[in-house]
């Protein structure tokens, strides 16, 4: 297990109001504390230092960068969590993957379950796996692979990473699911949470937030 060395640059706040906060979580930073004092530094603890009482709503993998929502009260936390469960928060990701998917767009529908002997890995299981669906669309192709726009229709752990690896196009830099060449092709996991769309749980105003990726 590699030593946890989170990036030290200040958090970028994308939106802050009296009810919720949206940040740009950098790759390499845990969303919530891990096990042990050495993993206490995380997105929620950093936000809480600036905005006491900030609460977790959802998570991004440590290696994934991009938009992360936090709540400023238990009522808003519950409302946002329910919106995620009901699919009322639209999510979009960008990823750079190995090869060129054929067809260049479509739906990946593969049920997932925790691979218990190999946690935190997940795996496809057609018998007892939970329904998991991802839409993908090619944005750009090049010599180093393909940039995809991804829309998860369900929210399973590692869903995008497993789905893309299963169709033969793992995300570059993925230490868990990519084959050695794809893992070595990038210094980090090239997966970024690039857009969120939802109705504000307090005001009802429509929020469409985008955050371009740097890779």
The catalytic residues are 61
Q: Which stretches does DSSP call E strand in 72-111?
A: 90-97, 105-109
Judge whether 135 and 151 are in contact, CB under 8 Å. yes
Q: How many helices (H) and strands (E) does the chain have?
A: 4, 12
Question: Cα(15)–Cα(127) distance, rounded to whole angstroms?
Answer: 42
- CA atoms within 13 Å, Cβ hemisphere of 196: 24
Q: Which residues contact 1 (CB under 8 A, 6 or more apart)?
A: none
């Amino acid at each position: 297990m590699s030593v946890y060395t989170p990036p030290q640059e200040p958090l970028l706040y994308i939106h802050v109001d009296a009810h919720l906060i949206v940040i740009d979580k950098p790759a390499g930073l845990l969303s919530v504390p891990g096990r042990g004092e050495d993993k206490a530094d995380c997105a929620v603890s950093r936000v809480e230092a600036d905005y006491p009482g900030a609460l977790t709503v959802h998570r991004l993998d440590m290696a994934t960068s991009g938009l992360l929502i936090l709540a400023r009260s238990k009522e808003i936390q519950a409302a946002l969590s329910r919106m995620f469960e009901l699919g009322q928060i639209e999510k979009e990701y960008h990823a750079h993957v190995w090869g060129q998917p054929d067809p260049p767009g479509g739906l990946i529908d593969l049920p997932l379950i925790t691979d218990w002997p190999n946690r935190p890995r997940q795996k496809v299981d057609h018998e007892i796996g939970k329904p998991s669906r991802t839409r993908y669309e090619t944005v750009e192709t090049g010599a180093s692979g393909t940039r995809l726009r991804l829309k998860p229709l369900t929210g399973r752990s590692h869903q995008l990473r497993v789905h893309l690896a299963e169709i033969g196009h793992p995300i570059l830099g993925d230490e868990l699911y990519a084959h050695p060449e794809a893992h070595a092709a990038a210094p980090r996991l090239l997966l970024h949470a690039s857009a969120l769309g939802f109705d504000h749980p307090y005001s009802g105003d429509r929020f469409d937030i985008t955050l371009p990726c740097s890779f």
